[in-house]
Structure 1
Amino acid sequence: MDKKVAVTFFQGEKWLVLTGLLGFLLAAVCGIWVMTHGAFVLPKGDVLKAFSFDAALGTFLLSTAAIMPFTALSKTSRAVFRWSYILLALYSYFAETVQNFRGVDPRFVKGGTDFDIWVGSIFTFVALLLVLFYLFAAIPFFGKKAYRLRPDLIVGIRYAMIAVLFSFAAGVWISFNAGRYFGLHGNIIWLHGLGFHAHQVIPFLAWMSEYTQLQPSVRKGLIHGSGIAFLLGLIAIGWQTFPVLPVLEWSVASILALFCFLITFAAGLLLLTQMKAVLWVKKQAEALSHRQ
């Protein structure tokens, strides 16, 4: 394992990390405002939405910064992706935060000024560019060059990236639907948000598997199993939402989604116990060598 680690998480991505942390700072400002003044700003602003958006985008940028050192992109291509994503993220922070404080829904502007309409139109274009640049960065992870660097980790990253594409698709669905609510009870935001969390969950499981003494086939099986289960869980969430049912209402789809996410959780617990066992054995071995 030690011989493989020539690259570390977040390596070379200081500015992308700082842009992600900016999202948490803005979310903190929004959270303080909501606690002191309430969430709604007349006529259409909702600072709570800005809070959740800034925190979510910040988390996504940090997750992206963590895995980008393992991409097969060239140094120039990686810089293009980094600075493009930083600029797009900064505009997104501005549009979501400033407009909600001004009492304007930045995505679906109704009766706003020309400035509000322009901000909303550009925001839609920026959202599309975020998807396109993400695809630009994701494709190299599915090649042999990235895989040879850290096989187990790259497999986990691949599943995470597919899940994020589901989230982007849900975002497009929200745009065409002109809102997160679908029909009387459907809420697309569940699918949109859960897909992004795969960015943290599946690569983390893959990283843990590298620090166990499980057989390579078992490690790969756990990564594939947890990744496939997470994707099937997202599909079940979409299946539940499309017939305009609440995600938390019991049905075949919601039970399947719960079962799939529990499989991913169970795989994580198993890897965690195996990882702790390895660390304990290593600690005992070091203590024994010191005594000798």
Structure 2
Amino acid sequence: MNTKIIAIDNQKKVKYLHWGIILLIALIISHVIVVESQMKPVLVLVHQYNYKVAMAFSWPFTFLLMLWIHFCTKKLDVYVPWTSKWGWRLGLQFILGVLLVLTLDYAVVKSYFIAFGQDFKKSGYMEIEFPIVRWMVLFMNVLYIAWFFIINFRNSTRMNDGLKDYIANLNDQKEKARFYAQKIEAKLGKKIIQVELNEVACFEREENIGYVYLLDGRKFNVDLKLSELATLLDSFPFYQINRSVMISFSAIEGYEKVKNKQAKIILKDFLELDVSLLVSRDRFEGFKKRFDLFKLS
């Protein structure tokens, strides 16, 4: 099994609204602001010169205010993140994203009225249009704050899932390490040697004599019966394919189905085993499931 390395970038920036969407929202809000205090039907207003002049000023200005909140929030995400400095961030978000924006709106709009020789106090801007701007500013700040936490929650969920997979993979590796550390006693004449299970291609039991075949082609005697080996290797990648042979999945390239619902093992290219490679009918389904699981790992 190849271990997957999960790389998680905790400093990944949150992507907020695209500038084109901000521009469209600014257009809608500007329209509402301009027509809110008017008594005439909207279809009449949009064809008037005063409406066009007001929109020519209001739309770019509203867009710039929203753009300021956008870039201000992105900068604060980097230098004063919610995750580590939430108290400072809350204060700065309110000052820079709300108070400063509303103050700037008040100053610029008042200057606009003065420049056109109109009485700002009598215009009713603070009672009618300004509340719309205020709600727009508050909504955008709340939206971006919620957006940040939603995205980070999703990233955290992905991170946790990735860590779970990584930990599970580590456990698999530990299990495999435990398997590779397992050894079995074998004999060569009068010599007794320890054979590591990861070196084993298969076991064979023939006329009460046991054999172990290694991946490198060597062959030794073993005293264990296949039933004993089945108990010993129950959680490891071995499977008894017929009455006389138990084979390691690491030695198998694949299999081909033959008559009578049986199968024949296809060994890996470097292997030659002088044993029966036929998977018996009553063992085929179990072999197939275990082999498929082994391939997935």
- The TM tier, using the shorter chain, reads under 0.3
Q: Which has the larger radius of gyration?
A: 2
Using CA pairs below 8 Å that are at least 6 residues apart, which structure has the higher relative contact order?
A: 1
Structure number with higher helix proportion: 1
Structure number with higher strand proportion: 2
Give me the TM-score of the superposition, normalised by structure 2.
Answer: 0.23
Give me the TM-score of the superposition, normalised by structure 1.
Answer: 0.23
